[in-house]
Chains A and B, each alone.
Chain A
Amino acid sequence: MSAVELTGVSKIFNKGAGNQVDALLDIDLSISTGEFVSLIGPSGCGKSTLLRLIANLIEPTDGSLIVNGKSPKQARLDQDYGMAFQQSGLFEWRSVAKNIELPLELKGWSAAKRRERALEMLELVKLTDFADHYPWQLSGGMQQRVAIARALAVHPALLLMDEPFGALDEMTREHMQSELLSICRKAGTTVVFVTHSIPEAVYLSNRVVVMSPRPGRITEVIDVEIKGDRSDSTRDDKAFFSGISAVRAALRGVELDSTARGIEDR
């Protein structure tokens, strides 16, 4: 069964006006349950817009979306997905545990059940000792872990992430990537992951979707051929490097097509 199904999806901002932007044009994409898919491309290629369409934070101009077997709106109302952004977006007036409890609060869970789930999630991201700390007492990496714990708190079938590790240093970033994979493996979560980093996309994903701007569209979908579960040694794997080369080649085509920049080649 597919977790996300997009058919002929287009998104045009300010249609008909002078500042019309063709953010996405005729996107077809099918993501299977349990799959990890990255969206990569230069700035302005519409990858964040695509994520927000799946999340039903914006409506498509054209085409049809199915998320978790229903309309995106129904999926949102049912909290079928969790979401994390580049900014951790923690509420600074809430403790770490209360931040994780927020989506559960909105679902009407009892206080005891919420707390139990929050502690369970904190264990998952290895921050049990920080339940009653406030976000500003945590480092950037820890804040992002809390944000991921919050996104996973409702045990969603689908996780939507918009450059969640973009603001982290390289060491923390690699560590978080491994953590994310092991968490999603345990829960069998489907992930759609927007990134600027080629190695990050290849390391994490089953498939890397390469996009190009003006208008935003999918130019290539690359299968990553890494065998078995990923670990730190994967970063020395031959398949890892060939994956990076393939994505880089696909992106180079995009770069030649347009003058767009904004890809991290590290």
Chain B
Amino acid sequence: MSSRFGSFVRSVIPPLIFGTIFIALWELAVKGLDLKPYFLAAPSTIWQMFVENFGLIWGATKVSGANALIGLLTGTLFGVLMSLVLSRFRILNDIVTPLAIALNAVPIFVLVAVLNNMFSITSEIPRRIMVMLVVYFIVLINVARGLTQVSATHVELMKSYAASDLAILRKVRVPNAVPFLFTALKVAAPASVITAFVSEYFGGSQNGLGSRITSNIAISKNSVAWAYVLGACLLGLAFYIVSSVLEGAATPGRSTRRTRVSR
């Protein structure tokens, strides 16, 4: 236990020291060089704004966070379902996978402008659909790979046990795909938050973190905008931490053994 605590300290202390020094230098630079607030706000001012506007920031965080979470959950669900279908029908897999990889490489979140047109301007649906699409492709590619890239020996063994295709799916393909799913989630979780923010830049209600950042900059309340940026960082971090913890809990001892990211 003590050695685990020791390694925790060793892994946490250096970035903590670095972060502290970085913020101190930032503070010193702003104060020392007398940088104007419209150019760069001091960390102390940002923190003060964060505390003063906490209620508003929390409200905006809930809106963006809900969009990201709903998109993440539905995107993961559809991604997993589709990868199961693809693993069953190889031909479909050969058609869809290159397409999914290609789509994944382009910034498809700009589609939100089109989606905004399709739904009411005050609706959160376009943003959620956008997050869902981004997550969907990340999950689809990774989980489909996990379902199909099973060891040949495993498949031969299962055949020698007279196992049905369904049994091979349940006992070999799905367990094999679990680490792939969590690797995908670790990528998809931060991506869902980013997509939720960026989606807000394409119009619609001014209620989320992304739109609040732009609107505060527009009225020259730069330090308040920074406070919203801080809120956005914390939200992204929260998503990442939850997905990491889930991965550790679901695949004990394996998380460090097979990590292959693809997006």
Contacts and interface: CB of A to CB of B under 8 A. Distances in A.
Contacts, number: 52
A83 interface: yes
A79 B162 contact: yes
Contacts of B176: 93
Contact of B161 (A92, A93, A94, A106): A106
A93 B159 CA distance: 19
Contacts of B153: 85, 87, 89
A85 B156 contact: yes
Nearest to B258: A92
A79 to B, nearest CB: 6
Given A87-B153, A91-B154, A91-B172, A77 B159 contact: no
B257 interface: yes
A93 B154 CA distance: 12
Contacts of B159: 57, 76
Interface string A57-88: 10000000000000000001111011101010
Interface residues of B, number: 21
A199 to B, nearest CB: 26
Given A91-B172, A92-B254, A93-B175, A57 B154 contact: no
Contact of B160 (A76, A94, A105): A76
A83 B162 contact: no
Contacts of B51: none
A52 B153 CA distance: 12
Interface in B158-198: 158-163, 167, 171-172, 175-176, 178
A102 B167 CA distance: 11
Interface string B47-83: 0000000000000000000000000000000000000
A141 interface: no
A136 B257 contact: yes
Contacts of B167: 106
Interface in B7-38: none
A134 B157 CA distance: 19
Interface string A142-160: 0000000000000000000
Which of A57, A77, A78 has the most chain B CB within a 10 Å cutoff? A57
B253 interface: yes
Contact of A102 (B171, B253, B254): B171
Nearest to A73: B162
A55 interface: yes
B205 interface: no
Contacts of B151: 87, 89
Interface size class on chain A is 20 to 34
B175 A81 contact: no
A103 interface: yes
A76 to B, nearest CB: 6
A198 B158 CA distance: 30
Which of B153, B163, B167 has the most chain A CB within a 10 Å cutoff? B153
Nearest to A134: B253
Interface in B131-172: 151, 153-154, 156-163, 167, 171-172
A57 B160 contact: yes
A4 B247 CA distance: 48
B21 to A, nearest CB: 40
A93 B178 contact: yes
Contact of A93 (B160, B162, B254): B254
Contacts of A106: 158, 161-163, 167, 171
Contacts of A94: 175
Contacts of A103: 161
A193 B154 CA distance: 19
A255 to B, nearest CB: 29
B215 to A, nearest CB: 49
Given A76-B160, A87-B153, 17 more contacts: A77-B162, A79-B161, A79-B162, A83-B156, A83-B157, A85-B156, A85-B157, A89-B154, A89-B156, A91-B171, A91-B175, A92-B254, A94-B175, A106-B158, A106-B163, A136-B253, A136-B257
23 contacts: A57-B156, A57-B159, A57-B160, A77-B162, A79-B161, A79-B162, A83-B157, A87-B153, A89-B151, A89-B153, A91-B154, A91-B171, A91-B175, A92-B254, A93-B175, A94-B175, A102-B171, A106-B161, A106-B162, A106-B163, A106-B167, A134-B253, A136-B253
